[in-house]
Amino acid sequence: MPGRGPPRSLPLLVVALLACHMVGATDLSDATLFARKPVSEQLPLHHPRLTQTCGPDPASPEQVHLSLAGPGAIAFNWVTARQGRASSMFWSLGRRVARAARTLGKYHCKGVSSVQYGFASGDYTGRVDGRAPACYSVDDYDSGVLHEVIVGRGAEGPLPANTTVYYRVSGAREGVWGEESSFVTPPPLGVDSLPYRLGVVGDLGQTEDSLSTLEHLVATDPQSVVLVGDLSYADGDHRRWDAWARMVSPLTSRWLWMFTEGNHERERARGVPDWLAYTTRFHLPHASAGSASPLYYSYDVAGAHVVMLGSYTDHDAHSEQAAWLAADLAAVDRARTPWVVVTMHAPFYSSNLAHLGEGEPMRAGMERLLNQHGVDVVFAGHVHAYERSLRVVDGQLDDCGPVYINIGDGGNREGPDTRWLDRPRWSAWREPSFGHGALDLLNATHAVWTWRRNADAIRAQGPQHAADSVTLVRTDCSLGDAGLAAAR
Ligand SMILES: *[C@@H]1O[C@H](CO)[C@@H](O)[C@H](O)[C@H]1NC(C)=O
Ligand SMILES: *[C@@H]1O[C@H](CO)[C@@H](O)[C@H](O)[C@H]1NC(C)=O
Ligand SMILES: [Fe+2]
């Protein structure tokens, strides 16, 4: 319980309480000594969680992923198998053209993309059709048919807020539909929609540890999820993209999952553009955020403005991304979305020896903007360990700065990063164990962050059961000059 207020001598102390309540039998007085698991292999491709599970019909849709596509709009992405001989001619032609162009890799392919939806189970009152689906080919791999439909942006009008939507997506053949699933649309924007729980995961991969992270995340029951990069660790084996999307689809078909890119999404391959699988398989809502690149965008949900930055695109102070970020942060209405959350893949602040300094150029280009606009929390991944900072500005403790949290401990095959620098003053808590976190936005001024370790039993909710937990209190100071002006 956050029962103790900030000391009077430090009226601007914004990290109000450090409630590091331990669970489990191990004495964790120095958490960095926590005994951790060895590296896990990727699950075999025939693992039941990585194979088609949507039904015996090979025309059934699979790999369903939901994301927010702008106010009142939801993007549905899914995959179906390529069908039929006539169409395979069509595809092989597309494939040859794509290869010849060498810069394309992706092409339109045959298939109908439709979502049927309604507000009671089995009662589909709406149907939205998408544009021609995409396919891509890399070496010997031909993707399935990659479908995308956005519901809530066309003639059907925006989806109602905070409403359970029942839906099914179309299969590979006319008349074949997937099983029904459902999700709850985001609540209306504004502080009246708090509390709101945002799940946060990073560097997930596809190992037994990844499955454990997902199992713990299900118990956390977030309203939406942010994955801060390094999704599948496919690394050029595109079957692993299908496998990963199958692994997460029981969750990505129920909650909105928003992605930011990591280095493993880049997948440089001969004749194939960067980010091919990542940007073709998933909707990244940059256009609705005024961003020219799918590699950075922002969105509003409940009482939060969430900014997804790109670590692997231009990010110096004079970059297009920095200009976009300045405009994006300046436009935040803090009365409506008092919380501003930023994510990127490579952390600005990390005291782990892994990837040390990789986030420095971007920090040099952009940290000032985060401080100016009173960003509350910054999530990053890349480093396969958990670390939480105190409020910090330019390397110095500063009650007006953001809190930086590295959550790259989703459990991929590269294993945890266990070696640290001497602890800097800003580092409040660090530990190379796999897990995930949740940000509970309670009201306009208070939020609780909790980090849950996979090694701990899945147990009752509440920060007292988390490995690390902290209450974040927004003050005039932590709003920043620009943020404060916007809130008045
Ligand atoms: C959302 O709907 C649920 C159930 O219908 C209700 O209990 C809850 O208060 C609503 N939340 C908001 C923010 O409107
Ligand atoms: C916000 O939540 C905190 C923690 O529950 C509480 O102490 C505070 O009074 C709340 N503020 C408002 C304005 O309700
Ligand atoms: Fe990474």
What integer pLDDT is reported at residue 280 of this predicted model? 95
Cβ atoms 381, 345 nearer than 8 A: yes
**pLDDT for the residue numbered 58:** 87
Residue 309 tokens read as 């930055």
What's the Cα-to-Cα distance from 399 to each of 100, 181, 196, 446, 484, rounded to whole Å? 56, 44, 24, 15, 15
Taking residue 114's Cβ as centre, other Cβ atoms within 10 Å add up to 17
Rounded distance from Cα 278 to ligand 3 centre (Å) = 14
The answer to whether 23 and 465 have CB atoms below 8 angstroms apart is yes
Bond before 7 cis per omega within 30 degrees? no
Q: Do 266 and 382 touch, CB atoms closer than 8 A?
A: no
Q: What span, in angstroms and rounded, lies between the C-alpha atoms of 411 and 208?
A: 8
Q: Would you say the CB of residue 162 lies under 6 angstroms from ligand 1?
A: yes
Closest CA to 438 of 221, 184, 185, 255: 221
Identity (one letter) of the amino acid at 109? Answer: C
Tell me how far the alpha carbon of residue 166 lies from the centroid of ligand 1, in angstroms: 17
The rounded average pLDDT for each run of 10 residues, N- to C-terminus, in the chain (488 residues) is: 32 26 30 59 93 77 97 97 64 62 70 97 97 88 95 97 98 94 98 98 97 96 97 94 97 97 86 86 96 97 98 97 98 95 98 97 98 96 98 95 97 94 97 96 96 85 84 78 53
Catalytic residue among 355, 382, 436, 465: 355
How do 126-129 and 145-151 pair as beta strands? unpaired
Q: How many CB atoms lie within 10 A of CB 394?
A: 11
Looking at residue 356, its pLDDT comes to: 96
User: In the prediction, which pLDDT does 107 show?
Assistant: 86
User: Residue 488: what residue type?
Assistant: R
Helix (H, G, I), strand (E, B) or coil at 283: coil
Distance between CA atoms of residues 213 and 209, nearest Å: 6
2 Cβ below 6 A of ligand 2? no
Q: What's the rounded Cα separation, in Å, for the pair 411 and 202?
A: 9
Q: pTM of the entire structure? A: 0.89
d(CA 126, CA 128): 7
**What's the pLDDT at 191?**
96
Query: What's the chain's length in residues?
Result: 488
pLDDT at 54: 56
Amino acid identity for residue 53 in this structure: T
CA distances from 44 to 48, 96, 249, 416, 422 (A): 9, 31, 17, 20, 38
């004495």: which residue's tokens? 27
Q: Which residues contact 11 (CB under 8 A, 6 or more apart)?
A: none
- Tell the residue number behind the tokens 């045959």, with chain if given: 110
Nearest CA to ligand 1 atom 8: 162
Six token digits for residue 273? 């553009």
Q: Which atom of ligand 1 is found nearest the CA of 193?
A: 13
Rounded distance from Cα 445 to ligand 2 centre (Å) = 7
Cα dist. 21→146, 266, 403, 440 in Å? Answer: 45, 38, 19, 17
Ligand 1 pocket check for 121: Cβ under 6 Å: no
Q: Which of 440, 441, 445 to mutate to test the pocket of ligand 2 (most atoms within 8 A of CB)?
A: 445
Let me know if 355 is a catalytic residue: yes
Question: Which residues, 6 or more positions from 177, have their beta carbon under 8 angstroms from its beta carbon?
Answer: 61, 116, 168, 169, 170, 171
Q: Is 443 in the pocket of ligand 2 (CB under 6 A)?
A: yes
8 Å CB contact between 264 and 231: yes
Pick from 282, 272, 217, 274: nearest CA to 244: 282
